[in-house]
Amino acid sequence: MSRLVVDGYNILHAWPDLARSMRTESLEDARRRLVVRLAEYRASTGNEVLVVFDARRRTLGSPDQEVVEGVEVRYGSSRESADHVIERLMYEASRRGTVLEMVLATDDHLQRDLVRAMGVPTMSSRALLAEVERAEGERTGEIRRRDQGLVADDRLESRIDPEVRRQLEAIRRGDLDSGEGAGEGPGGPPPPPARKHRPPQGPPTRWRRLR
């Protein structure tokens, strides 16, 4: 499993819908939209996701670190910018020998060159957008197939005779004992008559022909 680290404000300005959200709505709304989309990516791929934002214009009293819909969100501080947080994380990964498990998404060329020197793979904002859109498409298709399967099950159930459906439900719950099955029971047909036992016969008698 990989860990995707996202340079938050860099991606906010790079993705057209998020940049538009910052202009027409608010920075907080744009951050929320980014986290929601990254949560879809995480749910589809199973990869861990960490997005790092600068401390500026952060909601007063909000925590420095939180998990939102499975996405880890970190903020810089007055003493440490988002870039410095990212660099420290990558340096710690290089010390542990786990840099190949990390991927940094940013269009900041200086930042990309710096972490590449540590051995960390990087990707552009456009590549990240393509990955997120692919994940969103897969999730939408999965939900559509699941909903279609539920509709098909409902249609099949509506075609089953109510009495048969009741007996199947009783079997599923274990209410019917082994001697009572579908089509049998108190109101079912009587059991077939027992066959009479006939003693075994010996070999046929051979008659001598009279002369």
What pLDDT, in 10s, does the model give residues 90-131?
999 999 999 889 999 999 999 999 999 999 999 999 999 999
pTM: 0.66
pLDDT higher than threshold 80 for residue 19: yes
- pLDDT of 35 reads 96
Q: Which of 20-29, 81-90, 114-123, 168-177 has the lowest mean pLDDT?
A: 168-177
Phi and psi torsions of 108, nearest 5°:
-75, 105
- pLDDT of 207 reads 43
User: Read out DSSP for 108-156?
Assistant: -HHHHHHHHHTT--EE-HHHHHHHHHHHHHHHHHHHHHHHHHHHHHHHH
CA distance readout (Å), 90 to 47, 96, 137: 17, 10, 31
- pLDDT of 158 reads 60
Q: To which residue do tokens 């340079």 refer?
A: 7
- pLDDT of 42 reads 93
Confidence of residue 199 (pLDDT cuts 50, 70, 90): low
